[in-house]
Amino acid sequence: MDETETRSAEEGRLYPTGPRPVPQADISIVVEMENARLISRDEFGETIATLRREIAAWRDGRSGSRTAQVIFVQDGGREEAETLGRMLQDLAPDLAASAQSEIVSLAGGRYYELKNAAVPRARGEIVLFLDADSVPQPGWLAKMLAPFDDPAVSIVNGFTALEHDDFLSRCYALFWIFPLARGDERFAAKRSLNVNNSAFRRSWIAAHPFPENNGFKVSCSILWHEVMRRGVVTRRVDALALHKPPRGLRFLVWRAMVAGRDNDRRFAVLKSPRRARRLGHAFRRFWTSEWRSLCRVFGKGRHVGMPFRERPAAFLVASAFHGLAFLGQTAMAAGLVADRVERVPDHVTRS
């Protein structure tokens, strides 16, 4: 690793601990590591191996010299950065042959804060965002970069789907936030920004960082709203990345409650802060989610290999998720819970 940068817990800022790298790059790939503690070493190794493959294919397929930079940004301090550096050296000792690489640390940084912290370190004209638990599929990098041949394009949105290998992960694949990898074109076309699979011109994302919000996954929605309002030129491409599946009932309960609180935060920022309207939205969203899950579980279960006999139970799982989300949303809308900063709690074993 070329260098580590850490934020002082007392001062809440970034400071360098080594020489700042100066070589320019054609592209910078930011790998956000907030979820790294919640996935296995082998799963992270899969992400790194496929990323190296994509960079090598992109370099081999272009005339002239092409350089890539990979920035791993994590929420620990020096010790965690050193541990990550050793793991990367073990998992991908030949990564340096394909790309410049470095680690950026932001002690206590949250999901979007980590992404924002990496942008000033980017040396590429195009900045791509990928998460530690997202695995790019063959052709991903070339597809993500192709639209930037048009100088008017500022943002490219990839396509993220959820891996599934057991009953609960198949349930998530059917009712959660991502479209299916196959047979779900209409849903995929309506998805907003996939921040774990997206690319920006560096000048644009540097001038329009992810906005601050207490929510867990709200900032990208606010940013996307601004993109649409401003008429920023975007492209959607079939560049697939597979997100590792959530695990465990603890995750389901926590993620449902925080999803509900985030639903209220989005509505308050983008639609109306009035409590009556926010409560009305909670009821509408619950019944819309129930109807959508009913249609998807029974209509698309075959696309995830779910036998028909499992689908009633899968719908009950989806209903439990939506019910918990409804409780979280109504509690926030009614002012029964404070709008505190959302963080992944220690008891959650997988995100």
Structure confidence by residue, pLDDT tens digits, 90-121: 888 888 778 889 999 998 899 999 999 999 99
Question: How much is the pLDDT for 340?
Answer: 95
What is the band of 23 on the pLDDT scale with cuts at 50, 70, 90? Answer: low
Q: Indicate the residue type of 144.
A: M
CA 322 from chain centre, in angstroms, equals 21
What is the band of 17 on the pLDDT scale with cuts at 50, 70, 90? Answer: very low
> What's the CA gap between 47 and 273, in Å, rounded?
40
C-beta neighbour count of 252 within 10 angstroms: 20
Percent of the chain with pLDDT over 90: 66
- Of residues 349 and 75, more confidently modeled: 75
Q: Are strands 124-131 and 234-243 parallel, antiparallel or unpaired?
A: unpaired
Structure tokens at 244: 């590792």
- pLDDT tens, position by position, 24-72: 779 999 999 876 565 677 888 888 999 999 999 898 866 567 889 999 9
345 has pLDDT over 70: yes
Residues 110, 343 contacting (CB under 8 angstroms): yes
Question: Which residues touch 139 (CB under 8 Å, ≥6 apart)?
Answer: 57, 239
**CATH 3.90.550.10 region(s) of the chain?**
4-243
- The model's pTM: 0.89
22 has pLDDT over 60: no
> What's the CA gap between 34 and 3, in Å, rounded?
19
| CATH level 3 topology of 4-243 | Spore Coat Polysaccharide Biosynthesis Protein SpsA; Chain A (3.90.550)
- pLDDT tens, position by position, 165-199: 999 999 999 999 899 988 888 888 888 899 999 99
